[in-house]
Structure formats: structure tokens, C-alpha cells
Chains A and B, each alone.
Chain A
Amino acid sequence: MSVETAMQRDAAVTIFEKGAPGRRAFEPPALDVPDRPLDELIPARLRRREAARLPEISEPELVRHYVRLSRRNFDLDSGFYPLGSCTMKHNPRLHERVAALPGHARLHPLTDPARAQGALTLMWELERALAEIAGLPHVSLQPSAGSHGELAGVLLTRAYHAERGEPRRTVLTPDTAHGTNPATVTMAGYEVVKVGTDERGGVDIDDLRAKADADVACLMLTNPNTLGLFDVNIEEIARIVHGVGAIVYYDGANLNAVMGISRPGDMGFDVVHFNLHKSFTQPHGGGGPGAGPIAVSEQLEPYLPRPVIVRHGGAEGNGSAVEFDLDYDRPRSIGRLRGFHGNFGCLVRSYAYIRSLGAAGLRDVSETAVLNANYLLARLRALGVCELLPPAYERLCMHEFVLSGAPMKQQLGIRTLDLAKRLLDFGYHPPTVYFPLLVDEALLIEPTETETRETLDAFAEALAEILREAREDPEIARAAPYSTPVRRLDEAAAAKHPVLRQAL
């Protein structure tokens, strides 16, 4: 066993089990004001009786602990991460550097706008760029993540209908939708009505027609959808939904396929959310932070979350010395969705990305993402992988594609989960598994544009190798992985008897 593996295989010991009484990393600044008795300042009855039992640990121990933990993680910088629907593209380090500039990192959100013109300029320009990419005129950068953007969008829809005196009740979502869509609908006080999928993987138009009525507030749609397919009927879909006076919402999780090629606004969508941590390469941090700006049409603009960034000066200026300002006086706004102005640090990174690539670069991103996905699918076909893992739909795909592991399960006796776990031993992060729900034993593969042909070839070979191996001995995959810091974990036991903190 190599040194590295030995370290990774250390028994898990939490930081609360390390250290010793009296050890410390922090030294407080010297007391430079009168040492008044606490009782004079805060009555004893309001004070804490028992100290929080935080770790007692030196800085060297602290660093080692978390560095060792980090080595028990797989990450995008170490290897291929084709996690479908998550767009795990390279995160340029330039973005970390510019986000860390003190003028960004130590800028207080309540700084007088006159002294935050750099930040407001950046936000304004990012809004303009996102509006252009979406093909919709107005943007709010406030939502913290995609699902937060969805909630903003559906609440805008609610405000729009409410002002027209139409208390509508339902929101349509395709059965292929991300789980966040129906969850958002419920939180916004609407009922979900599911729309079926046709034999080509698009929205079932007849089903949509049957369900689109005056009670529908909105349709939430991802395009390309979660099957990695562009819905060829999108114009008709928008016509049907608009025909009953409802709003068409674009889940931007898959925008990476169409940047500079086709715009949601031109497709007929009224609201779009962006996942900056997907298409615009904000690093995902093991589960956030992200950012989920929304772009909206003219008719929805009055309802945008407040404050909004406004520009004074120029020909139509009002004489203010401040070029960019924050406008809180928005009487028809749905209101705030969170504190302050959104995840600004994420906005800086995505701004840097758009400035780096420009129009031609963004188009290249989408073209390459789609080429890489189709090439990988072609390699899998050529290697015979698709005989056991056929594509759910026999079409060209966009930036991702879905395979069904049903024949593999039937013929080799291994499930998609087993295949995924065996991939870990080959040094890959597996694709998304068991989503979308309507494909049996689904495997959703999104290579992204930042991978080389060699990487795609090697990944295809690895899948072929796992199937070859399983033909001889399916038990190898069924019991995988073998080389990881831990092997398969008992998730049922974790849920049945939850242990959610270190006992002290």
C-alpha cells in the first residue's frame, strides 16, 4: 500500500476527537481598553453558562487534519468528472485571484454606493451580458443558486398574475424535470401538474394541450432538457402556454449547450435562471456557493427582487455624481430573497469568465461541449458499450446524453450503481445515476467542453473494460469500489439511526 493510500485509509477521526485541553491556534489581540468586570456589562443571567465545546487544537494539527481530509475527496482538478446536469468544467484560477482582491473581498455590502462604483459597474455589466446571452432585457443577480432563482421566477409569476386579478393554481413541469422544479412550485404555493414526454424525448404536445388551461400560472422547462435533447417543438410549446395567459420559465441548468447559438428569450421563454456554478464556471465547493441570477421579459420587470442596480449619467442623466446606484423604491417588487446583493464573489468569477471568452469564446464553449458529448457517445457505440447501455433516445445529443443500464442489468447482472462504483476504482467521478427518473437504470453523462479527446477516449475505454470484466465476473463490479478511502457505505443504517454530530 502506498503512503498516500495509507493516509487516505486512516480511520476517520474528527477534529473534536483530536487536540488536548489548553491547546490553541488563536491568540486574541491584547486588551487595550479598561478591563471592566463582565457583570457590569452583561448581567450574568443573560450570559452563557456552559462554554461551547469547540476543539482545542494547535495550528499545525489543524492544518494537518484538514489537509488529510482533503485527500479523502475526489475533485475536478484531479480527474474527469462527467456528472450529468452539473457541468463540471475547468475552474480557472484567475477567477480566484480576482475575487480575492481586497477591493472585492473586503468590501462591506453597506458601503455607500458612491464608494462601491467598481462593484456596481461589474454587476451592471454582468447583468447586461447575461441579458444578451438570455435574449431577455432585465436581470436580477440576487438569487443565491439555481433553486433560489427558480423560486424568484415562480414568485414573479405569482405577482404578475395577482396584479391581473387572476389567482391561478397550477404549474406545469415535464416528468423529466429537475427535482428542484416541483419542489419550488410547492414552496411558491402552487400545485404541480406533470406533463408527459413523447417518443422522441420532448414534451408530449398533446398532453400539454390537454393540461394547459386558465388555471396554469406557468410552465417550467429545461431546454435542452435533462435527457440532453433540444425540444424541437419549443415554439409550439411556448405558443400553447402563452395562449392560456401563462408564463414560460427556463431552467438554465443546461444553458451550456446553447450559449451564443440560441437564446431562451428568442425561444419564447419569459424568465430564465442561470446557474453561474455550472455554465459560468464558479467552482462548486463541494456543494456551494453558487449563484442563480434571473433574466426576465419587459412585462415581468416591475416585480424583480429589490434593490435593482440603476445607471445615472450620460445623455439621460439626472445630474447625480454617482453613475451606478441601488434603487430600493420598487413598489411592485416581490421583495428581497436574501440579505444584501447576492453572492457577489461568485459574480466576480463569472464576470471574469465572460470577459475572458467574449462572444466567440462562449460560442466555442457550447459547440465544443456538444461535440465532446456526441463524440463520447460515438466512442461508446464503437466500443460496443451501447449494446448493454443503449442511449435512451437514438438521436444526436446536445451537451449531455442518457444511457439506460437496463440491458446491462438483465444480461450481466450488474446495476448502473455497480458500474458507477467500479468507475471509482478507475479514477473517474461517475456520471449522474438514476436521473432522469423516466429512464430505467439511467446514466446521465456530461463531459463538458474543457476535456480533451484523449480523456474522452480513456473514459470510453474504462466503461468498455468494466463491462468486459463484468461479463467474466460480475461480482467485481457488485462489490466495488476497492481503492477508495472507504468502500460502500451503509446508507440505510445512517438514515434509520441518524448520527448527525460528534458525541462529546
Chain B
Amino acid sequence: MSRYTAVTETDRRVMLDAVGVAGIEELFADIPPALRLGRPLDLPDGLGEAEVYEQLRGLAARNSSAEDMLCFLGAGMYDSYVPAVVDMLLGRSEFLTPYTPYQPEISQGGLQVMFEYQTAICELTGMDVSNASVYEGPSAVAAAGYLAKLTNGRPRFVISRAVHPHARETLRTLSVGYGTTVEEVGLLDGVTDAGAWAAAIDDTVSAVFVAQPNFLGAIEDLEPLIAAARSHGALVVCSADPLSLGIVEAPGVLGVDVCVGEGQTLGNRLDFGGPSFGFFAVREEHLRRMPGRIAGETRDVDGRRGFVLTLQTREQHIRRERATSNICTAQALNALAGVVYLAWLGRAGLLELAELLVRRTAYAREALVAIDGVEALHEQPVVREFAISLGLRDTSSVRRVIARCAAENVQPGYALGLDYPEYRDGLLVAITEQRSRADIDRLADVLGRALAAERAAAASGGAPV
């Protein structure tokens, strides 16, 4: 007996008798002897609850989190504030511990949450319909690619190089299976090069992919990009930052076919990259090719309003090899955090938060560009993230500068050169509502000194720190 099982010696005797076997090992008689392990697993011995807590606390203490450092890292996940009501509601057994709502009569809470979530995502993105969540942002982009493949079967995808590098790579990984090629279109002054974009698209293109704002923080002018794709009948997929949609025009209003994105910033923790949720919303005409769960409204036999999982003939458990996706378990609890967060922000709050971010980000951009040697990497309008060039010769130098800042408990941002060789001295800086003007001033001070120290070390030919 371990602490999560409850079979006493008496229970065991009674139960084995009832089954009609002499011992536990008889229950495993079907396993050929050669395939039985015959030794204990080579794992450390089990520990009591307090000891496990202490071990995990020790491991957690070896990480420098946004609790310990002033965090200006973004690049897809943000140190946004998670309201206490989110923690409280997600901790409720009734939301935390059920399975997928296969029995709607006893799952109305979860199903209604999905319905409300779908409503909120439609409002945010301007799309007609949303599913109840997919895994996370980059795989949502890849899932949109599969929808396009099922829709028109054309052989090419065209993706802006300003879409998140993880999303571009995930799309490549998955499209290898069904044989669609992925071609990238480069950037001009921080946004997708509209000329190259139009030139890359013809009638063989299944779908095009763009991000709003893009990975460099820049707001894309979507209209010409969408028009170029639509004139050739290619689907338009936009990966959007949901919080930025408080102030940037909704992609659905501009006519994209699929709007997806990473939902972490909406009430989800950083958690070293997951779990969070991906949102996935489409124009009505694509509804029956959507992946994943969808909640719909209906009535019970007494005429009471209720909710069910619907359009399940798209899904793997019904349609099997002809399903529109293999997804089963998604991110229901994280999507709950998302809708609670959006309701907590509210109609006015979303706009106010976005405006605050825009103004603080503008302030931060000016403060950093004022540092000797630092330049804006692009001049495009931004919401909550921006890119600068540090005036260094390579990405290793940038990483050393980041390490110098970290020694003063500041995470200044992400070294763009790790993903973009063409921006080898680039730094991507994110602002959240938890970063005050004083924090930004501190960043400017620490980064300025770190850069000066790095340049001094380089000039003296000294060993890198």
C-alpha cells in the first residue's frame, strides 16, 4: 500500500478470494515470463509529502524567475499579472479534476465555460467561430496549416519570416508528413516585405501565414498582405497576440480565414513555457474543418438551456482516419483561465491595459535607443514589444551583455540573433503592466552599463565575462 492506494492486507485477501486467484501475480499471468521485469525499477525510493515538497522547493530555488529578476523577456510568453480570482477558480476541484465533458448532464459548468470562452475569442479576433482551445500558439499555426491542406490541397505554404520562429519550425515539422512545402518571405524595415510577399503567392499556394503584431513587435499593415493572398484563393492565417487585439484592428474584420494565437498572456502563468492554451478561430465557411472540441448550445428534454460538445463528426473518436485533427486532450483549464481573465479585464479594461502598454513601451523604446550605440531595429508602430540593435559585432556579445544584466537581476530581453542571423546584435524587449517606469529606467541604466562594459572588454581584448 502506498499513500494513494487503500488496499489493506484484509482487503487484498477478500478481493483475491472474490476473483478466485491465490495471489496478485496470477493476475499478470498473460504477460510472458521473459517480458516481466523481474527487478524493481531503478528509481529513487519514494518520499513522504513534506520531503517531496522540500526537494521540489530546492529545485525551484535554483531557477531565476520573474519573482527574482526584473523580466523584460517576451517573445511569445509574457510576465503578465495573473489575478487572484484565476488561481482561486482554477483550484476548484470541479474545474481541476474532471475529464473532457463526455457526459453533458453533469458537465454543464465546463461546457458553458467553453461556450463563453468561444464567445470571448470571437469578440477579440473578430472571427465567426472559435473552438474550445488547442495546445498552444505555435502548434495552433501548424493546425491552421492542416485545415488549409484539407480545404484546398495545394502544395505550398508561404509564411512571413516575422511569424514566431517556433511556429515556423512547427509548421515545417508537421507539413513534412502531408507533403506541403513551406517558403519564407523576408522582412523590410521590421515588417513583412509586401512586394516579395505578393511575388511569392500564386495559385499553387494553399495558405499564407502572418503574425500581428509580428515577432519583432511591429504592427503589420495586414490589408495588402491579405489582398495578395485572396486574389489567388489562398487561405490567410493570422497569428495574433490576444492582448494587442485590444488596440490593433481585429484580423477577422480585415478578412483573414483563420486567426490563431498563444493565449498565455491571458491569465496563464509562465510555467517555463506551458501549459498555456492556443486559440483557434475561423470564418464560418471553415467551421466543419476545425480541429478540436467545440461547445454548442441546445435544450434538454424539459426545454432547459444547456450545452454539449458538438460537430463531433469532425473528431478523431468518431471520424478516426478521416478526422480533421488527431487532437483529443487540449487545454480546457487554461482556456478557463483565459475567459476568466478577459471577463476580469472587461470591455474597458482591455483597452485601458493595451493603451498603458503602448505608452510604456514607447517610453521604454525611447529610453533604450537613447543609450550610446543602441538603435531601433525598426521604426514601425508597436504595442508591447520592440526590437533594438545593440551595436555589437555578434550574438555571443549580446548574450554576454544579457549575462551582465542578469548579474544585476535584470533580464533585458531576448537575443534575436539566436533565431535571426540577420539581426545578430538584436534584442527583443517586452513590456508588461508589471514593469513600471522606474523598472524601465533601471533597465536603461543596467543595459547601458552592461554595454559599456562589454565594449570596454572587447576593446581591451580581454576574456569575455
Given contacts A107-B65, A355-B47, A429-B103, contact A230 B31 (CB under 8 A): yes
Question: Which of B229-237, B353-361, B368-376, B442-450 forms contacts with chain A?
Answer: B353-361
A110 to chain B, nearest CB (A): 5
A293 an interface residue at 8 Å Cβ cutoff?
Answer: no
* Beta-carbon contact of A335 and B170 below 8 Å: yes
Among A121, A183, A187, point to the contact of B62 (Cβ < 8 A): A121
Task: Tell me whether A63 is interfacial, beta carbon within 8 Å.
Answer: yes
Known interface pairs A109-B77, A494-B297. Does A144 touch B136 (Cβ–Cβ under 8 Å)? yes
Given the known interface contacts A287-B329, A335-B169, A374-B27, the answer about A108 and B73 at a Cβ–Cβ threshold of 8 Å is: yes
B124 touches A52 (CB 8 A): yes
A452 touches B67 (CB 8 A): no
Contact A450 B5 (CB under 8 A): yes
A384 at the interface (CB under 8 A from B): no
B159 located at the interface, meaning its Cβ lies under 8 Å from any Cβ of chain A in the complex: no
B4–A500 touching, CB < 8 Å: no
Residue of B nearest to A26 (CB): B349
Find out whether the CB atom of B29 lies under 8 angstroms from the CB atom of A396: yes
Q: Are B173 and A305 in contact (CB under 8 A)?
A: yes
Complex Cα gap A338–B134 (Å): 11
Residue of A with least CB distance to B292 = A287
Name the one of B99, B330, B342, B362 contacting A83, with C-beta atoms under 8 angstroms: B99
Identity of the chain B residue whose Cβ is nearest the Cβ of A487 in the assembled complex: B300
> Which chain B residue shows the least CB distance to A43?
B381
Are the C-beta atoms of A289 and B334 separated by less than 8 Å? Answer: yes
Are A25's CB and B105's CB within 8 A? no
Q: Does chain A have a CB within 8 A of B15?
A: yes
Q: How many Å lie between the Cα of A14 and that of B350 in the bound state?
A: 19
Q: Is A122 an interface residue, CB under 8 A from the partner?
A: yes
A42-B71 contact, Cβ under 8 Å, with A101-B56, A286-B98:
no
Cα distance A334–B174 in the bound complex, in angstroms = 9
Q: Which residues of A contact B47 (CB under 8 A)?
A: 355-356, 358
User: In the complex, A275→B329 CA distance in Å?
Assistant: 10
Q: What residues of chain B lie closer than 8 Å to A83, measured between beta carbons?
A: 99, 102
Residues of A within 8 A of B138 (CB): 336, 338-339
Interface pair B272/A341, CB less than 8 Å apart: yes
Cβ–Cβ contact B166 & A339, under 8 A: yes
Once the chains bind, are A46 and B248 in contact (CB under 8 Å)? Answer: yes
Cα distance A121–B56 in the bound complex, in angstroms: 11
CB distance from A176 to the nearest CB of B (A): 12
A27 to B352, CA, bound (A): 9
- A455 to B: closest C-beta gap in Å: 9
Question: Looking at chain A's contact residues, is the secondary structure mostly helix, strand, loop, or mixed?
Answer: loop
A493 to B310, CA, bound (A): 9
Q: Is A28's CB under 8 angstroms from B353's CB?
A: yes
Stretch of B203-211, B318-326, B456-464 on the interface side: B318-326
B29 to chain A, nearest CB (A): 7
Per-residue interface assignment for chain A, residues 476 to 488, with 1 indicating a CB less than 8 Å from any chain B CB and 0 otherwise: 0001010011111
In the assembled complex, B422 has its CB within 8 A of some CB on chain A? no
Per the bound structure, the CA–CA distance linking A155 and B177 in Å amounts to 7
Closest to A86 in B: B99
Shortest Cβ distance from A481 into B: residue: B105
Q: Given contacts A487-B301, A495-B313, is CB(A344)–CB(B46) below 8 Å?
A: no
Number of A-B contacts (CB under 8 A): 728
Residue-by-residue, is B222-263 near A (CB-CB < 8 Å gives 1, otherwise 0)?
A: 000000000000000000000001111110010000000010
| Residues of chain A at interface, number, CB under 8 A | 209
Complex contacts, B172 vs chain A, CB 8 Å? 335
A499-B270 contact, Cβ under 8 Å, with A32-B437, A121-B59: no
Is residue A407 contacting chain B, with contact meaning CB distance below 8 A?
no
- Residue A161, interface by CB 8 Å: no
- Cross-chain contact B331 with A338 (CB below 8 angstroms): no
Q: What are the residues of chain B within 8 A of A361 when measuring CB–CB?
A: 2, 46
A353 → B minimal CB distance (Å): 9
Q: Which residues of A contact B136 (CB under 8 A)?
A: 144, 338-339
B395 touches A (CB below 8 Å):
no
CB of B356 within 8 A of CB of A31, answer yes
Encoded as 1 (CB less than 8 Å from any A CB) or 0, chain B from 81 to 123 comes to 0010101110111111111111111111110111110111011
Select B112's contact among A14, A379, A501, beta carbons within 8 Å.
Answer: A14
A92 near B4: Cβ-Cβ < 8 Å: yes
Closest CB-CB distance, B372 to chain A, in whole Å? 22
Q: Are A368 and B164 touching (Cβ within 8 A)?
A: no
Taking CB atoms, residues of chain A closer than 8 Å to B120 are 52, 54
Is B105 a contact partner of A421 (Cβ separation < 8 A)? yes
Give A305-323 interface residues, CB cut-off 8 Å to B: 305
CA of A49 to CA of B249, assembled, Å: 7
Residues from chain A with a CB closer than 8 A to the CB of B299 are 489-490, 493
Binary interface profile of B, 380-423, with partner A (CB < 8 Å = 1, else 0)? 01010000000000000001001100100001001000000000
**In the assembled complex, which residues on chain B have CB atoms less than 8 Å from the CB atom of A48?**
245-250
Q: Name the segment of A146-154, A241-249, A464-472 touching the other chain.
A: A146-154
Cα distance, A382 to B274, chains bound together (Å):
47
Q: Is A210 an interface residue (CB 8 A)?
A: no
In the complex, what residue of chain A is closest to B77 when comparing beta carbons? A109
- B108 engages A287 (CB within 8 Å): no
- Give chain B residues whose Cβ lies under 8 Å from the Cβ of A122: 56, 59
- Does A420 contact B103, Cβ atoms closer than 8 Å? yes
The closest CB in chain B to the CB of A32 belongs to: B437
A118–B53 CA distance with the chains assembled, in angstroms: 14
A1 in the interface (beta carbon within 8 A): no
Chain A residues positioned under 8 Å from B433 (CB to CB): 28-29
Complex CA–CA separation, A28 to B107 (angstroms): 34
Q: How far is the CA of A81 from the CA of B19 in the complex (A)?
A: 22
Q: Is the CB of B358 within 8 A of A111?
A: no
Residues of B contacting A339 in the complex (Cβ-Cβ under 8 angstroms): 76-77, 136-139, 164, 166-167, 170, 262, 273-274
Binds B, one of A64-72, A294-302, A408-416: A64-72
| Interface contact B347-A51, CB-CB below 8 Å | yes
- Contact between A94 and B305 (Cβ–Cβ < 8 Å)? no
Closest Cβ of chain A to B397, distance in Å, is 15
Contact B333 A286 (CB under 8 A): yes
Q: What residues on B are CB-neighbors of A6 within 8 Å?
A: none
A189 lies within 8 A of B323 (CB) = no
Contact B177 A286 (CB under 8 A): no
Give the CA-CA distance A204 to B112 in the complex, in Å: 44
Find out whether the CB atom of B42 lies under 8 angstroms from the CB atom of A132.
yes
For the complex, give the distance between the alpha carbons of A288 and B245 in Å: 25
* Contact (Cβ within 8 A) A284 B99: yes
Could you name 20 residue pairs across A and B whose Cβ atoms are closer than 8 Å?
A: A32-B437, A55-B347, A56-B346, A73-B95, A101-B57, A105-B270, A106-B66, A107-B65, A108-B411, A122-B56, A147-B326, A186-B326, A258-B31, A284-B329, A287-B114, A288-B329, A338-B138, A339-B164, A365-B2, A374-B21
Q: Which 9 A-B pairs have the closest CB atoms?
A: A340-B273, A103-B60, A285-B333, A358-B46, A109-B273, A118-B62, A287-B332, A289-B275, A77-B93
Q: A71-B94, A122-B56 are in contact. List 5 more A-B contacts (CB 8 A).
A: A26-B349, A74-B106, A355-B47, A358-B44, A362-B43
